[in-house]
């Protein structure tokens, strides 16, 4: 993408309303624009990142055997009356009347609707296990939305729902999502720690939050240092096998959010192994048994002919929230430092002297070759000052900067800068190309 054809409205100053660093950086980098309290437009740079995160989340859901659907944003109030949550949900639910005065709502979550889909079509234990997920916008009418996309009202969530004949098999379903989550966050470039969680209003007796560590995190978390050194399950993980050993390994050591923290238990950990840090919740998984299937009549025939309410779990990842979460974990004073997998572009190509024929030609050639090799390049072909170009690339956090100017070109050389470390290296054009196209594999 040539910057001259792109829409990247960089702001020089952080707007006053932004209290946390990710919100400030997303506004400054032209990633989002607030349209109303807690409601954002995603500008081109922000939307690229959102879609990359979404795609990684999707791939790991599919790997774990979940099947994608898409439920609508608008739901009927009647469905929520069946579960008893219509009245219980409170002011956070955005309630709507349509032109025929039917009561509707903007879905804050989808347990009721997915249970309705299930009961419509599934009759037999033979069709289980089943896990259906979707990635869709939700609305929660927070009293005081803030922190940008970290706590918006309209937000994108991946929510998966598992259906099983009994608790034992529901536990397998739970474990599959547990492992999928470990893999998802690792691929996003994050260190995430599963922590035993309160089940809250969704209910149930098995639940974990996934917390990423970030010095600017919203809450205090506590864990054993060993958890930070565990190996994330590989691509070759067999999701049809018993995943209990992996889950056990990841839940053995102490790890708790502030709410669930047990001072006495934590004190028993050797002092040099105690980790107390700031964290951000980026996922939450629940097993809640027949809480919805029972009142809503989602039953399946068992092998013995009896009918049984299906055992369910739900599994959420805040996809739009993750954009902010990743920035909280990955930034410095100059701006964002995207992990490669979610970077909006892999390479920022900086033309130090736009208008100079030789420099323009060299840049155009590099741009074309990188694109052909499948590398996402943002080419700053504008006539801005070099200093401003560097600052912009630092701010938007592109992992590699490829700097091309007339002086270097005279000896066939360009400069390659790695955003994460600030490391700069002068090398031939060919060396830079092969470095960047290799990095892509």
Other CB atoms within a 10 A radius of the CB of residue 301 amount to 14
Is residue 42 close enough to count as binding a second copy by CB under 8 A?
A: yes
Cα gap 347→28, rounded to integer Å: 20
Is residue 368 close enough to count as binding a second copy by CB under 8 A?
A: no
Is residue 385 close enough to count as binding a second copy by CB under 8 A?
A: no
Residue 29 CB, shortest distance to a second copy, in Å, is 13
**Span from 71-79, 201-209, 298-306, 344-352 in contact with a second copy (CB under 8 A):** 71-79
Among 35, 219, 276, 428, which residue sits at the site for a second copy (rule: CB under 8 A)?
A: 35
Is residue 403 close enough to count as binding a second copy by CB under 8 A?
A: no
Sites for a second copy among residues 221-250 (CB under 8 A): none
Closer Cβ to a second copy, 320 or 401, answer by number = 320
Using the structure block, give the residue that is written with the tokens 């599919």. 62
Is residue 70 close enough to count as binding a second copy by CB under 8 A?
A: yes
**Span from 116-124, 334-342, 408-416, 421-429 in contact with a second copy (CB under 8 A):** 116-124
Cα gap 277→284, rounded to integer Å: 19
Secondary structure letter of residue 124 according to DSSP: B
| Of residues 305, 62, 329, 41, the one with CA closest to residue 183 | 62
CB 266 within 8 A of CB 254: yes
Is residue 130 close enough to count as binding a second copy by CB under 8 A?
A: yes
What's the angle, vertex CA 215, arms to CA 230 and CA 16, rounded to 5?
145
Count interface residues toward a second copy (CB under 8 A).
52
| Of residues 150, 228, 237, the one with CA closest to residue 191 | 228
Is residue 139 close enough to count as binding a second copy by CB under 8 A?
A: yes
Cα gap 386→407, rounded to integer Å: 13
**Span from 27-35, 195-203, 267-275, 369-377 in contact with a second copy (CB under 8 A):** 27-35
| Cβ burial, residue 26 (10 Å; 0-12/13-18/19+) | buried
**Span from 134-142, 203-211, 338-346, 422-430 in contact with a second copy (CB under 8 A):** 134-142
Residue 313 CB, shortest distance to a second copy, in Å, is 16
Is residue 132 close enough to count as binding a second copy by CB under 8 A?
A: yes
Is residue 69 close enough to count as binding a second copy by CB under 8 A?
A: yes
Is residue 388 close enough to count as binding a second copy by CB under 8 A?
A: no
Is residue 252 close enough to count as binding a second copy by CB under 8 A?
A: no
Closer Cβ to a second copy, 44 or 204, answer by number = 44
Closer Cβ to a second copy, 153 or 389, answer by number = 153
Question: In which element (H, E) is residue 158 found?
Answer: strand 154-164
Closer Cβ to a second copy, 35 or 302, answer by number = 35
Is residue 72 close enough to count as binding a second copy by CB under 8 A?
A: yes
**Cα→Cα distances 305→125, 141, 165, 308, Å:** 10, 45, 13, 10
Closer Cβ to a second copy, 99 or 231, answer by number = 99
CB 157 within 8 A of CB 111: no
Question: In which element (H, E) is residue 26 found?
Answer: helix 21-28
Secondary structure letter of residue 144 according to DSSP: S
Catalogue the long-range contacts made by 247-250 (C-beta closer than 8 Å, 24 or more residues apart): 247/175, 247/178, 247/179, 250/178, 250/182, 250/194
Cα gap 358→373, rounded to integer Å: 23
Residue 97 CB, shortest distance to a second copy, in Å, is 9
Cα gap 136→165, rounded to integer Å: 27
Residue 22 CB, shortest distance to a second copy, in Å, is 18
Among 88, 91, 265, 388, which residue sits at the site for a second copy (rule: CB under 8 A)?
A: 91
Residues within the interface to a second copy (CB under 8 A): 5-7, 9, 30, 33, 35-36, 39-44, 47-48, 50, 65, 67-76, 79, 91-92, 94, 96, 98-99, 102, 104, 106, 113, 116-117, 120-122, 130, 132, 137, 139, 141, 143, 153-154
């Amino acid at each position: 993408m040539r910057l001259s054809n792109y829409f990247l409205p960089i702001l020089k100053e952080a707007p006053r309303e932004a209290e946390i660093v990710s919100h400030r950086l997303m506004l400054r980098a032209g990633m989002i624009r607030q349209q109303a309290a807690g409601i954002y437009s995603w500008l081109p740079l922000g939307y690229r990142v959102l879609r990359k995160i979404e795609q990684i989340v999707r791939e790991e859901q599919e790997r774990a055997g979940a099947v994608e659907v898409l439920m609508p944003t608008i739901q009927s109030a009647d469905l929520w009356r069946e579960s008893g949550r219509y009245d219980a949900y409170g002011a956070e639910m955005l309630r709507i009347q349509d032109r025929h005065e039917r009561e509707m709502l903007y879905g804050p979550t989808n347990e009721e609707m997915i249970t309705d889909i299930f009961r419509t079509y599934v009759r037999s234990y033979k069709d289980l296990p089943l896990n259906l997920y979707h990635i869709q916008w939700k609305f929660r009418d927070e009293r005081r939305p803030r922190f940008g996309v970290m706590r918006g009202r309209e937000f994108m969530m991946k929510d998966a729902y598992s259906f099983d004949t009994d608790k034992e098999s529901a536990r397998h379903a739970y474990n599959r999502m547990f492992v999928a989550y470990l893999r998802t966050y690792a691929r996003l470039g994050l260190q995430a720690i599963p922590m035993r969680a309160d089940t809250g209003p969704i209910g149930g007796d098995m639940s974990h939050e996934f917390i990423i560590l970030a010095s600017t995190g919203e809450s205090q978390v506590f864990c054993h240092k060993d958890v930070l050194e565990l190996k994330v399950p590989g691509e070759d993980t067999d999701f049809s096998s018993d995943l209990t050993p992996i889950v056990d390994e990841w839940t053995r050591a102490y790890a708790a959010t502030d709410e669930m923290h047990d001072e006495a238990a934590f004190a028993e950990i050797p002092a040099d192994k105690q980790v107390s840090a700031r964290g951000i919740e980026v996922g939450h998984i629940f097993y809640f048994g027949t809480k919805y299937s029972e009142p809503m009549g989602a039953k399946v025939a068992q092998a013995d002919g009896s009918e049984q309410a299906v055992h369910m779990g739900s599994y959420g990842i805040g996809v739009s929230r993750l954009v902010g979460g990743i920035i909280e974990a990955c930034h410095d004073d100059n701006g964002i430092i995207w992990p490669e997998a979610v970077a909006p572009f892999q390479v920022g190509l900086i033309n130090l002297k736009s208008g100079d024929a030789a420099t323009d030609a060299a840049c155009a050639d590099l741009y074309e070759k990188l694109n052909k090799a499948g590398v996402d390049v943002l080419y700053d072909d504008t006539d801005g000052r070099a200093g401003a170009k560097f600052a912009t690339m630092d701010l938007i956090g592109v992992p590699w900067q490829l700097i091309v100017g007339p002086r270097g070109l005279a000896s066939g050389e360009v400069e390659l800068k790695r955003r994460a470390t600030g490391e700069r290296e002068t090398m031939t054009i060919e060396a830079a190309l092969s470095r960047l196209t290799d990095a892509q594999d």
